[in-house]
Each structure stands twice: as C-alpha cells, then as structure tokens.
Amino acid sequence: QAPFLFPCTYREFFFFFFFLLQQCGVLLSVFIYLFIHFIPIHADWVATLWRDTFEELLNDDNELDYGDQWTLNFNYSQTAAVTKEERKRGWKVYSHCAYATFQCGSCSKNWSSARVVVLFRYRLRGERGTVIMRPFGQACRRCQDNEFYLPGFAEKEVKHALLRLFSKVRKNCYNDEDDHDDNGSSTCSTKKYTKPHEASLCQACIMGICCQDED
Ligand SMILES: *[C@@H]1O[C@H](CO)[C@@H](O)[C@H](O)[C@H]1NC(C)=O
Ligand SMILES: *[C@@H]1O[C@H](CO)[C@@H](O)[C@H](O)[C@H]1NC(C)=O
Ligand SMILES: *[C@@H]1O[C@H](CO)[C@@H](O)[C@H](O)[C@H]1NC(C)=O
Ligand SMILES: [Zn+2]
Ligand SMILES: [Zn+2]
C-alpha cells in the first residue's frame, strides 16, 4: 500500500502538504492585515501637519533662533515668479521636491510620487518672518479628468522639507552659513520606486517648475 520511499501514505502526505499550505496562508493573511492596518498611507493633504511641525521645529528645536516671530501660511494659487517689486519687499522663493501620496477623489485610486513640488515664499521684515506655502497637485492617470489632487505627506517628509527651508532662511535672511543639513540640493529626499513621472498629470510640470532630473 505505501509508496516506494514515502514513510506515509499518499493520503497522509497530501493532508500534511495542504496543512502546511494552509499555515502559510494564515501567516500571509496576518502579514497582509498588519500591512494594511498599521502602515499608514498619507494620501490626504493635511495643512495642520505642516503647521504643527513648523511650530515644533521652531519652538522645540530652535531652528531659527534669532528672536524673530516666524509664521507659516498657505496660498494654493501662488507661483514661483517673484516680481521686481516683491523682491524689493524681501520676498524669496524656495522650491522643494518631496515624496508624497495622492488619492483620486473620483475613483479612489492611490498613487505615490517622488516628484511632488512644495513651493515656499518667505521673507523677513522687521521682526516678523513669513512663510507662504503651496503644495502642487497631480491628476489621476486612470480618470484623466484634469482634476488635481493635493498630496499627502508622511511626517518625515514634512520635517525634511522644513529643515531644508530653514537652512535657506538662515542663509538668505540672516546671512548665516548653511552649516547644518547641507545635504545636496532640493532634489527628491526619498529613493523609492514610483511610476514614471507624467508631465501632463503634474501641476508643477504644467507650470514649468517641477523638480530637476536627477542622474
Ligand atoms: C487609499 O488610501 C486611503 C487612506 O488614505 C484608504 O482609505 C483607501 O481605501 C485607499 N484606496 C485604495 C483604492 O486602496
Ligand atoms: C495668493 O497668490 C496669488 C498669486 O501670487 C495672489 O494673487 C493672491 O492674492 C494670493 N492670495 C492671498 C490670500 O494672499
Ligand atoms: C548628510 O549626508 C550624509 C551621507 O551622505 C549623512 O551621513 C549625514 O548624516 C547627512 N547630514 C545631514 C545633516 O542630514
Ligand atoms: Zn481616478
Ligand atoms: Zn512634474
């Protein structure tokens, strides 16, 4: 009845085999469950995350320790252009490239991009420092409806962007040497695989201010 080399019957063997398979399935399900529930997807634009991180870096970490009052505001229609008049009034621009996630409002599809532009205008006037920020959106590849959705950022990305901004502020508003966080340019901070960048779906590309190509 027993096969040549098997120490058990075929029936026992297959039972054991499927038992193992089932255990793998259970393990896999557990991993998938953990992945879905405990790895946060930041697909929504959250302005308060930027404000809170801004405050935290200034008040707790003293990133701009010169005794001036800095505030962060948002303007969702500003451009990178600085007129001569604005330059005279002290406005400067910093364009940052970050990694972020988007969610389509019509089909709910999520996607990530390592080329998400965050544009900052800033100036110091008297004892008041102002930063005005604009995140640039992307459109859904599937829907192609010219609707630009705003990016959702992980806290790490927010911190990185603001630290880069503060080093620009130290340099351009306080003539302080750019000593800390002097790592490269504003190029993408995170090396993650994302689908090829499509200019027609990117608001920053359309306005001609998207991230530079990296080699
Ligand atoms: C996209 O991400 C959000 C969380 O931000 C989640 O609620 C939603 O189910 C996701 N959509 C898809 C299609 O995975
Ligand atoms: C936002 O920026 C646009 C373009 O630079 C400007 O026309 C508009 O007045 C700004 N809005 C506010 C509320 O400052
Ligand atoms: C700058 O980059 C180097 C590696 O390229 C890293 O070791 C260092 O910690 C970075 N410094 C800062 C301040 O991010
Ligand atoms: Zn869509
Ligand atoms: Zn682009």
pLDDT tops 70 at residue 185: no
Length of the chain: 215
Ligand 3 pocket, mutate which of 183, 186, 189 (most atoms under 8 A from CB) = 183
Is 212 a domain residue? no
Which residue's CA lies nearest to atom 10 of ligand 1?
A: 110
Instruction: Assess whether 131 and 35 both reside in one domain.
Output: no
pLDDT tops 90 at residue 166: yes
Least distant ligand from the CA of 163? 3
Instruction: Assess whether 111 and 29 both reside in one domain.
Output: no
Instruction: Assess whether 100 and 146 both reside in one domain.
Output: yes
Q: Is the CB of 178 under 6 A from ligand 3?
A: no
Q: Which residues surround ligand 5, an ion (CB under 5 A)?
A: 202, 204-205, 210
Instruction: Assess whether 144 and 55 both reside in one domain.
Output: yes
One-character DSSP codes across the chain: ---SS-SS-HHHHHHHHHHHHHHHHHHHHHHHHHHHHHS----S--HHHHHHHHHHHHHTT-TT-SS-EEEEEE-TT--S---HHHHHTT-EEEEEEEEEEEE-TTT--EEEEEEEEEEEEEEEETTEEEEEEEEPPEE-TTT--SPEEPPB--HHHHHHHHHHHHHHHHHHHH-----TT--SSSS-S-----PPP-GGGBHHHHTT-PPPP--
Least distant ligand from the CA of 80? 2
Instruction: Assess whether 97 and 29 both reside in one domain.
Output: no
Distance 190 CA to ligand 3 centre (A): 13
Is 20 a domain residue? yes
Question: In which domain, by residue range, is 28 found?
Answer: 6-39
Q: Is the CB of 183 under 6 A from ligand 3?
A: yes
Is 123 a domain residue? yes
How does strand 138-139 pair with strand 148-149? antiparallel
Distance 77 CA to ligand 2 centre (A): 6
Is 118 a domain residue? yes
What pLDDT, in 10s, does the model give residues 112-156? 999 999 999 999 999 999 999 999 999 999 999 989 999 999 999
Percent of the chain with pLDDT over 70: 86
Q: Is the CB of 180 under 6 A from ligand 3?
A: yes
Instruction: Assess whether 15 and 114 both reside in one domain.
Output: no
pLDDT of residue 186: 46
* pLDDT bracket for residue 35 (50, 70, 90): confident
Number of the ligand 2 atom closest to the C-alpha atom of 81: 5
What pLDDT, in 10s, does the model give residues 55-87? 999 999 999 999 999 999 999 999 999 999 999
Percent of the chain with pLDDT over 90: 70
Instruction: Assess whether 15 and 79 both reside in one domain.
Output: no
* pLDDT bracket for residue 180 (50, 70, 90): low
Neighbours of 74 (CB within 10 A): 14
Instruction: Assess whether 73 and 179 both reside in one domain.
Output: yes
Instruction: Assess whether 35 and 53 both reside in one domain.
Output: no
pLDDT of residue 177: 76
pLDDT tops 90 at residue 107: yes
What pLDDT, in 10s, does the model give residues 13-27? 888 888 999 999 999
Instruction: Assess whether 34 and 120 both reside in one domain.
Output: no
Is 194 a domain residue? yes
| Residue written as token pair 């320790």 | 65
pLDDT of residue 41: 74
Instruction: Assess whether 185 and 97 both reside in one domain.
Output: yes
Which residue's CA lies nearest to atom 1 of ligand 3?
A: 183
Is 62 a domain residue? yes
Is 1 a domain residue? no
Number of the ligand 2 atom closest to the C-alpha atom of 79: 5
| Alpha carbon distances (Å) from 31 to 25, 28, 159, 199 | 10, 5, 29, 36
More confident residue, 119 or 179: 119
Which residue's CA lies nearest to atom 13 of ligand 2?
A: 75
Averaged pLDDT, 91-100: 95
Instruction: Assess whether 17 and 80 both reside in one domain.
Output: no
- Structural domains of the chain, count: 2
Is 215 a domain residue? no
